[in-house]
Amino acid sequence: MVLKAQQTPYQKNIVIFASGEGTNAKNIIQYFSNQNNIKVTHVLSNNIRAKVLKTAHDLKINALHFDRSAFYSTNEVLHVLQDVDPDLIVLAGFLWMMPENIIQEFPDKIINIHPALLPKYGGKGMYGDNVHKAVLENKEDETGISIHYVNEEYDEGKIIKQFPVKLDPADDLTSLKKKIKTLEHKHFPEVIEEILTKKQHG
């Protein structure tokens, strides 16, 4: 059973999907924690051991785990989302491709963050350290983050915003990850807020 989030008539609700530690999810939850018009109501994860589930629980956010069958073979996760009726679904380090039934049910309401300047370093298998290592191996002058809508292909949805960062020849995996994480934490909540504020006034 999913409890419908209590909300004012003007509140916009966010559901976050995450697969791992959940630093972006935590940052987004905290960013909106003191706002009355936008709230994170649920965090969903495909990884029962994901730290993000405990983080959500600690921050008093509904935390739910689901398996591959519930996501792809049945409408179980879709029904959860229909009950919650989010204004925006945010993928924050979520590694599975969204199924077609969810994409069709929530058109232009699902966004993802990618740790590179798409279309570079996107596609299946390009996530986390895989992206950063490829960027370093190709000696790129800059990289960054892309925030985009989600469609039926990995990293191919319409780009909403991109934020670049310069690379130094001395950058390694650790320093690059830090630069990207700084960009994510600064810009992801702001872009979410912009999207939902436009929806509110649109």
* CB count in 10 Å sphere of residue 25: 30
Tokens read off for 49 = 């051991």
189, burial (CB in 10 Å: exposed 0-12, middle 13-18, buried 19+) = buried
Q: Please state, in angstroms and as integers, the Cα–Cα distance from residue 196 to each residue in 63, 92, 173, following that order.
A: 22, 17, 34
Are residues 182 and 27 in contact, defined by beta-carbon separation less than 8 angstroms? Answer: no
CA distance 158 to 174: 29
Q: What residues have CB less than 8 Å from 85, skipping those under 6 apart?
A: 13
d(CA 16, CA 5) in angstroms, rounded, equals: 14
Which of 114, 132, 185, 201 is flagged as catalytic?
Answer: 114
201 as an active site residue: the answer is: no
User: Which residues participate in catalysis according to the annotation?
Assistant: 114
